[in-house]
Amino acid sequence: MTTVVSVKSAPITPGQRIRRLLAAREAGVFIALVLMCVFLSLTTEAFLSSRNLLNIGRQVSVLGIMAVGMTFVLITSEVDLSIGSIYALASMATGILIVDQWQLLPAILVGLFIGGVVGFLNGVLSTFGKLPSFITTLGMLSVVRGVALLVTNGEPVTVNANSGSLPDVLAQFEFLGQGTFLGLPMQLVFFIGVAILGWALLSLTTYGFRVYAVGGGVKAARVSGIKVFAVKIWAFVIMGVLSALAGIVGLAFLPSAQAGRTGAGLELDVIAATIIGGASLAGGEGTMLGTVLGVLIIGVLRNGLILLGISPFWQTTIIGLVIIIAVGIDKWTSSRRVS
């Protein structure tokens, strides 16, 4: 007669739970965010005002929407540098259609479709084309912005009462960027909605599991039957659509865009925020909560530097140092995990 002996694992103590929480990358980002907020609340009078906090939420929303998409791309060990140009082209295309008296929904869908197509091209060239995504999207950055310049002939696109758009469509469009819902700016509402959907897709679906699997090891993912190229292409498509959405929301708030300047440099802030939040350039790591915290770090830092009266030149320098430190932390921690 065989005797089965069951071994019960020791219960996890509260102290162990706390240590596990503190060991998470998101915990460090959260602590840094809290310390920044405490410092700014003690050194400035306006930081904790409801108006300023809502302004921070509004300011980080466009960046946050794009960072949600970048999380998918970075986890698959790819990168997208064309998002600033997609932001510009999609927003200007939507604006042109509204000025040409299109209804709002079709105009927005065209803008989102443009973002999806560019994302699809990035994905195909980076997978089936076997080009490094850094090179592919760097080239697409110039191609897409060039298309925006050709379409607009370098002229700004302005959506207002004098542009010829339908009054009811203009009112609806302005509400998307300037209205409020339950006291929150609509831009922030869009960011919250996109972040929740991104979290659900990444954490609760088979696709999210495949994203992590592909980023963790392409060969192992293929052996497991995962279609690696399809997973990566869809990540780029998500990135493109969210870049377009961010551009449309941005144009609804500031109803003027110019192909040569709109969205320029956004990709650097988006990548920085995502990496600060815990996504790894090596792939396989990152969470939506971490991305949201990283976005808030960037937003609070920019807002705090302004409230403290720091020179705009120093602001640029400090943001650059934060990006370098964030990438350095990512590299150092990943090398320690490997060793």
Provide the pLDDT confidence category of residue 111 given band limits of 50, 70 and 90. very high
Q: What is the DSSP string of 241-256?
A: HHHHHHHHHHHHHS-E
Question: What number is the average pLDDT over the span 29-48?
Answer: 86
3-state secondary structure of 180: strand
Say yes or no to pLDDT of 239 above 90.
yes
CATH, domain range 29-37+46-333: 1.10.3470
* DSSP output for 122-135: HHHHHHTT---HHH
Residues near 25 by beta carbon (within 8 Å), at least 6 away in sequence: 277, 278, 285, 290, 333
Q: How far apart are CA 15 and CA 9, in angstroms?
A: 16
- What pTM value is reported for the model? 0.86
The domain spans of the chain are 29-37+46-333
What is the pLDDT confidence band of residue 24, given thresholds at 50, 70 and 90?
A: low
pLDDT at residue 207 is higher than 80: yes
Higher pLDDT: 1 or 124? It is: 124
Highest averaged pLDDT of the listed ranges 248-252, 273-277, 320-324:
248-252
From the list 329, 302, 299, the residue with the least C-alpha distance to 314 is 302
**Stretch 282-290: mean pLDDT:** 85
**What is the reported pLDDT for 161?**
77
Q: Percent of the chain beyond pLDDT 70? A: 88
Q: Which of 122-136, 234-248, 296-310 has the lowest mean pLDDT?
A: 296-310
160 pLDDT above the threshold of 70: yes
pLDDT of 93 > 90? The answer is yes
Contact assessment for residue 310 and residue 43, using Cβ atoms and an 8 Å cutoff: no
Please say if the pLDDT value at position 7 is more than 50: no
**Cβ-based neighbour number of residue 1 at 10 Å:** 2
Res. 338: pLDDT tops 70: no
CB neighbourhood size of 281 (10 A): 16
Which one-letter amino acid corresponds to residue 100?
Answer: D
Lowest mean pLDDT among 73-77, 83-87, 325-329: 325-329
pLDDT tier for residue 254 given thresholds of 50, 70 and 90: confident
- Tell me what the mean pLDDT of segment 299-317 comes to: 84
Mean residue pLDDT across the chain: 85
